[in-house]
């Protein structure tokens, strides 16, 4: 009898267990059913525009599983940005080459007078070259982040690419500080002289002298230089603000803010690089005598008369010199 009672207890226990399993299994089956679960996921996405769970680690942001805007951002980062950068930079390079081949260097029409006039002080030149050097390193290291994987990696291999990318990333982070200081100093140093005025309208109407062979009047900075100044101040300000937002993630904003910062940073950076190519062109092979202004700091008086006659008059009045009638010596 005792054995029968033990058998009965085991049988009832097993039956109860089977009942429990059969009751519980439909919900387990539903959870692992891929179709059913994706339907739920879809509903969640539609309702909340994200799928978020709970995590036990301190950083609660890691609980975010899906954010559809992230896919749009990735599409921008991996495709659209490459087109924007490629068109802006290669397009500008092509335009400058065509322009140089058709127009050539803007020559000093009256030759050199042999008399020079100070255009930029040592401090101004230091700030310019510090900012320019940082800009070039930031541009190259930034381009590596965008294009390095597809263009450089196949050429130099994984090991060299990761080593170079690591150093490029350090450079991008650390040189951002002197670059920002440079942009602030440029803003303060040259704001007087870069406020647009009536003379700029006339200068632009006459093609600035670089398109034709005209020499429209200009003060210390002509409309083209003023445009470069504001591109540096506004573009530099934007890349700095968004760059620091990316460098110190999630301090200032959530994931959407980070995505927006990356979009603004990268688009402004590409356009900025294209604009600086034009600036470098005019400062070197595009115009005779221009490089000296930032090289030695002094320009020939005839150069000043041809390109910045109103500034030369101001300088003559200030210093009591008379370079306004500086005449050619070499061409005489
Ligand atoms: C204060 C100045 C700047 C700061 C703080 C800064 C910071 C950053 C940071 C944190 C990133 C993201 C890097 C990563 O994904 O690991 C980045 C990307 C980038 N930066 Fe800068 N940056 C600055 C200036 C510049 C300048 C002047 C340029 C070029 C003219 C530039 C071009 C780029 C480019 C092209 C990217 C890659 C965008 C991408 O493909 O995702 N940056 N920057």
What tens digit of pLDDT does each residue of 293-331 get? 999 999 999 999 999 999 999 999 988 776 655 544 443
Averaged over 127-145, what is the pLDDT?
Answer: 98
Is residue 205 scored above 50 in pLDDT? Answer: yes
What integer pLDDT is reported at residue 16 of this predicted model?
A: 54
Ligand 1 contact, 99 CB (< 6 A): no
Instruction: Tell me, in angstroms, the distance from the centre of ligand 1 to residue 265's CA.
Output: 6
* Minimum mean pLDDT range among 53-57, 123-127, 201-205: 53-57
The predicted-structure confidence for 70-100, as pLDDT tens digits, reads as follows 889 999 999 999 999 999 999 999 999 999 9
What integer pLDDT is reported at residue 209 of this predicted model?
A: 72
Instruction: Tell me, in angstroms, the distance from the centre of ligand 1 to residue 247's CA.
Output: 9
What integer pLDDT is reported at residue 12 of this predicted model?
A: 61
Distance (Å) of CA 135 to CA 11, 34, 142, 294: 81, 51, 10, 16
Residue appearing with tokens 């115009």: 287
For the entire predicted model, the pTM comes to 0.83
Which residue among 269, 271, 273 is best mutated to probe the pocket of ligand 1, counting the most ligand atoms within 8 A of its Cβ?
269
For residues 75 and 262, the answer to whether their CB atoms sit within 8 Å is no
Alpha helices in the chain (DSSP H): 2-32, 34-48, 68-75, 81-103, 122-151, 153-174, 176-190, 198-205, 223-230, 236-247, 255-281, 291-295, 301-307, 309-319
Instruction: Tell me, in angstroms, the distance from the centre of ligand 1 to residue 61's CA.
Output: 23
Distance (Å) of CA 99 to CA 106, 107, 204, 223, 282: 11, 15, 18, 19, 11
Distance (Å) of CA 211 to CA 203, 231, 291, 309: 11, 21, 19, 18
For residues 88 and 274, give the distance between their C-alpha atoms in angstroms, rounded to a whole number.
6
Nearest CA to ligand 1 atom 12: 246
For residues 71 and 77, give the distance between their C-alpha atoms in angstroms, rounded to a whole number.
10
Quote the tokens at residue 306: 């041809």
For residues 197 and 199, give the distance between their C-alpha atoms in angstroms, rounded to a whole number.
6
For residues 143 and 77, give the distance between their C-alpha atoms in angstroms, rounded to a whole number.
12
The predicted-structure confidence for 20-55, as pLDDT tens digits, reads as follows 443 343 443 344 454 566 667 777 777 777 777 888
Cβ-proximal residues to 11 (8 Å cutoff; 6+ apart), any chain: none
The percentage of the chain sitting over the pLDDT mark of 90, rounded to a whole number, equals 68
Instruction: Tell me, in angstroms, the distance from the centre of ligand 1 to residue 150's CA.
Output: 18
The percentage of the chain sitting over the pLDDT mark of 70, rounded to a whole number, equals 85
Nearest CA to ligand 1 atom 19: 142
């Amino acid at each position: 009898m005792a054995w029968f009672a033990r058998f009965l207890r085991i049988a009832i226990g097993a039956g109860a267990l089977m009942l429990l399993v059969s009751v519980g299994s439909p919900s387990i089956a539903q959870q692992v059913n891929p179709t059913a679960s994706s339907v739920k996921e879809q509903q969640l996405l539609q309702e909340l525009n994200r799928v978020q769970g709970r995590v036990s680690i301190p950083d609660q942001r890691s609980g975010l599983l899906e954010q559809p805007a992230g896919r749009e951002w990735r599409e921008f980062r991996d495709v659209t940005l490459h087109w924007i950068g490629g068109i802006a930079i290669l397009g500008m390079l092509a335009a400058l080459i065509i322009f140089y081949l058709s127009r050539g260097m803007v020559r000093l029409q009256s030759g050199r007078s042999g008399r020079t006039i100070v255009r930029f002080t040592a401090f101004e030149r230091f700030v310019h070259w510090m900012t320019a050097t940082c800009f070039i390193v930031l541009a190259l290291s930034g381009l590596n982040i965008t294009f390095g994987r597809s263009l450089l990696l196949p050429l130099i291999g994984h090991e060299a690419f990761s080593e170079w990318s690591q150093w490029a990333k350090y450079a991008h982070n650390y040189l951002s500080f002197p670059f920002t200081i440079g942009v602030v100093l440029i803003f303060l140093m040259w704001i007087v002289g870069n406020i647009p005025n009536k003379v700029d309208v006339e200068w632009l109407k006459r093609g600035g002298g670089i398109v034709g062979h005209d020499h429209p009047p200009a003060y210390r900075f002509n409309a083209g230089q003023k445009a470069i100044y504001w591109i540096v101040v506004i573009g530099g300000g934007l890349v700095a603000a968004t760059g620091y937002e990316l460098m110190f993630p999630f301090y200032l904003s959530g994931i959407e803010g980070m995505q927006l910062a990356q979009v603004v940073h990268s688009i402004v950076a590409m356009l900025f690089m294209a604009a600086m190519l034009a600036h470098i062109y005019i400062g070197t092979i595009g115009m005779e005598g221009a490089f000296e202004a930032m090289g030695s700091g002094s320009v020939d008086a005839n150069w000043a008369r041809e390109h910045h006659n109103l500034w030369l008059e101001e300088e003559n009045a200030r210093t009591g010199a008379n370079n306004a009638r500086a005449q050619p010596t070499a061409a005489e």
